[in-house]
Structures are given as C-alpha cells and as structure tokens.
Amino acid sequence: MQYPAPIEKLIASYMKLPGIGSKTATRLAFYTIDMNKDDVDAFATSLTEAKSKLHYCSICGNITDDDPCEICQDQGRDQTTILVVEQPKDVMSIDRTNEYHGLYHVLHGVLSPIEGRGPEDLNIESLITRLQKHPEVKEVIVATNATPEGEATAQYLARLIKPAQIKVTRLAHGLAVGSDIEYADEMTLLKAVEGRTEI
C-alpha cells in the first residue's frame, strides 16, 4: 500500500536533502502534516524567500541578501588579510570566534579530480583578481578543511599567490584531520587561527 500522492511527494522532497533517508523523510513528512497551517505557511515562505532573496557576494562569494555583503562593506575590518574557506557556512564558524577581523573569500568547494572538480569550477579567479586590485592585502590565510582535497587546494592556492609576494598561511592543525570547520568548537577554531603557519 502506498501513501496518498501528496505525502509521497513530500517524502520525496525531504529525501533530496543531504543525509535524509526514506525513514527520516517519512517521519518529517508526517511531522509537517501534523503542524498547524500557520507554521506550515511560515515554513514554506522561509524556503521560498531564502531561495529568491539570497545570492553570492560579487566580491567574496559569501551568501548574502545584500551586495556586496556586510563583511566586504565593513571598512573597520582588517583590509590586509583575506581568509579563504570552502563554503559560506565556514565564514560564520570562524567569525564567531571573534579572533579574526579580516576579510573572507569563499571557494565553493575544493579541488577534486575524482569528482571532476578543477580550478575553473571554484571561485579562484575572482580571488586572484581581488589580490591584483588590492595591493594592501599582505596575507592570505587558507582555511580549507584538513582533508586530502583541502590540502591539495591549499597547496594550489599557495603556488598561485606566492609569486605576488603575498604571505600565504594555513590554519594550524588544531583541527582534526578529516574534520569539517562547521563542526569544530569555537576554542579549537580560535587555536587554529592563532597558530596558523606559512605554506
């Protein structure tokens, strides 16, 4: 016996989310059906607004509802450093430490030959252009995850940037190898930023 078509569609929609299997999707679908109409309407509105109002900053690639983003507009931030991360969620993870006060650049992934992702698939060209336009930048901190792909991306960026006489550093390995910045606690991230090393 199958569920009614609207429930099947809702389950299928939830299963498109990462890490959600059929059992969890079914549980979420039935939870959604049990919600009151106002909460369901608010949930649907937040989904459509997030999709329609958010975009990537034209300067750093961070997710924003304003362009340029709030961080790029903030002249009070240290304009001499750019911290490079894999994903927009990593910006918030590091910024919450209140230790780093410079600018950011989001790559939107890492180099991965196995997945067919090369330099042209990442937000690298705009980083190089940004460095050329802003000679005040003295250091680029590469904060990719401590994975083989993250390390390869860090080395690739160092080879591109170092000829411009810009210091390239890597976060210290207070981050466990194979871990994601998103899941690290603030103290670990603080120590990683403080103990960064030159590549």
- Domains of the chain from N-terminus onward: 5-53 (1.10.8.420), 68-198 (3.40.1360.10)
Given CA atoms 112, 154, 74, 163 in this order, what sign does their dihedral have? negative
Give me the residues paired with residue 170 across strands: 142, 197
> What's the mean pLDDT in 37-42?
96
> What's the mean pLDDT in 100-113?
96
> What's the mean pLDDT in 180-192?
78
Mean pLDDT of the chain: 92
Its pTM stands at 0.80
Q: What are phi and psi of 117, to 5 degrees?
A: -105, 110
> What's the mean pLDDT in 15-27?
96
